């Protein structure tokens, strides 16, 4: 029978011992050690919910959201222009439509402007374009 040695201090271990007499480390027999069929998965640690505001800004200013906002803004602008063009009389609906258009376009301008400022994952030229476009939306609607 082979002489066992402690993996911590290299001391000789008497047969049948559960602990090293020199350092007190637990001795695990390779034959008694349970074998696991599951391979361990090593992954990056999960971030906690710290920086909730930063996560919210990153979501709002993500590229897909900004493109969707631009498409919706163009559609709303066209629909508003068509309704205003063909409206024959001045009414409260005209005022309501102007308020909706103003609010929506100002909101889109804010999202684009913030997206250009805070979203560092996209190209510098695209960020500059977003800042300029958002600024124009804000300037024309405020």
pLDDT digits (tens, 9 = 90+) for 9-51: 888 888 777 788 888 788 776 545 555 666 666 666 656 555 6
DSSP state, residue 18: S
Backbone dihedral angles phi then psi of residue 12, each to the nearest 5 degrees: -75, 140
- The alpha carbon torsion through 128, 132, 133, 137 (nearest 10 deg) reads 150
pLDDT of residue 109: 85
- The pTM for the full model equals 0.44
pLDDT of residue 31: 47
Domain boundaries, the chain: 1-30, 53-141
pLDDT at residue 96 tops 50: yes
pLDDT: which is higher, 51 or 104: 104
């Amino acid at each position: 029978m082979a002489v066992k040695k402690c993996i911590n201090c290299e001391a000789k271990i008497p047969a049948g011992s559960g602990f090293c007499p020199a350092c007190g480390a637990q001795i695990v027999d390779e034959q008694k050690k349970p074998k696991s069929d599951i391979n361990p998965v090593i992954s990056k640690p999960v971030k906690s919910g710290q920086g909730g505001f930063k996560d919210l800004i990153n979501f709002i200013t993500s590229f897909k959201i900004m493109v969707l906002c631009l498409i919706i803004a163009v559609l709303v602008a066209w629909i508003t222009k068509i309704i205003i063009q063909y409206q024959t009389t001045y009414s409260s609906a005209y005022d309501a439509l102007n308020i909706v258009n103003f609010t929506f376009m100002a909101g889109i301008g804010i999202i684009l402007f913030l997206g250009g400022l805070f979203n560092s994952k996209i190209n510098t030229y695209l960020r500059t374009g977003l800042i300029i476009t958002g600024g124009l939306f804000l300037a024309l609607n405020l």
